[in-house]
Structure formats: C-alpha cells, structure tokens
C-alpha cells in the first residue's frame, strides 16, 4: 500500500488545479478522503513492521511532530507564494507532481523494505 498512498492526493491536487466547477470539488474531496483513509490505516501498521515495537513511541512522536509542523507551515508558504505571484492552481500542479514523484520513490522504498524482510522472495522476482 505504501506506493499507492499519495496517488489519490496527487490526483486531487491536479483536479483542484484544472477543474474549476463545483463538481470538481466533489472529486477533490473524494480523492482526499481516499488518501487520508489509506494513511490513517497504513501508518498504524507501517512503523511497527519497519522499525519494531521497541522505540515505537519515539518514532510516532517524530512523525506526528513533522506532520504538525508541515501543516502549520503550509498556509504561510502558500500565502507567501501567492504574494510572490505564484497562483494557487500553479502550486497545486507542482504539489500534484510532487506527490506522484514521491509515490515512485515510495515504490522503490517498499521494494527495499520487502527485500530486507524477505531477501529470497524478492531476488527471485
């Protein structure tokens, strides 16, 4: 599921950039709901599978702190870019592309994690 996590989010950013009518907002919200639904389930299982349970509290505190920091910085950064002349649709296209690039990187990371856990099964593929 790791590589699929950001695909609906990237598509929702692109839809927000290119679809201006009310129906487009329903698509954006639908795709956002899919993305956040996947993430809430996935991260509960990902951290213990990847790092074990020994330092799970510390790992979760770092990831939640990073999420809070990024959501706090987002509106300020967006407003600064708008003041600099970068329209919101342009920002959404960039963010959608960013999500798609990170999805590819997550695919690579998931292969590495899978190879680390099951070296024989991945080598035979």
d(CA 28, CA 35): 11
Checking if the pLDDT of 121 tops 70, the result is no
Give whole-number Cα distances, 99 to 22, 23, 75, in Å: 24, 23, 18
101 versus 59: which is more confidently predicted? 101
Spans of all domains in the chain: 2-123
The pLDDT, as a whole number, for residue 11 is 93
Q: Which two tokens stand for residue 59?
A: 């790992």
The pLDDT, as a whole number, for residue 44 is 80
Checking if the pLDDT of 60 tops 80, the result is yes
């Amino acid at each position: 599921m790791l590589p699929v996590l950001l695909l609906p989010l990237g598509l929702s950013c692109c839809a927000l950039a290119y679809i201006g009518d009310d129906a487009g907002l329903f698509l954006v919200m639908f795709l956002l709901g899919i993305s956040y639904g996947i993430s809430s389930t996935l991260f509960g299982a990902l951290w213990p599978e990847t790092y074990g349970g020994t330092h799970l509290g510390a790992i979760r505190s770092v990831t939640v702190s990073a999420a809070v920091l990024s959501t706090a910085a987002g509106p300020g950064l967006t407003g600064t870019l708008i003041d600099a002349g970068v329209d919101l649709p342009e920002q959404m296209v960039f963010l959608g592309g960013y999500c798609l690039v990170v999805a590819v990187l997550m695919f690579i990371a998931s292969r590495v994690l899978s190879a680390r856990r099951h070296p024989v099964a991945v080598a035979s593929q």
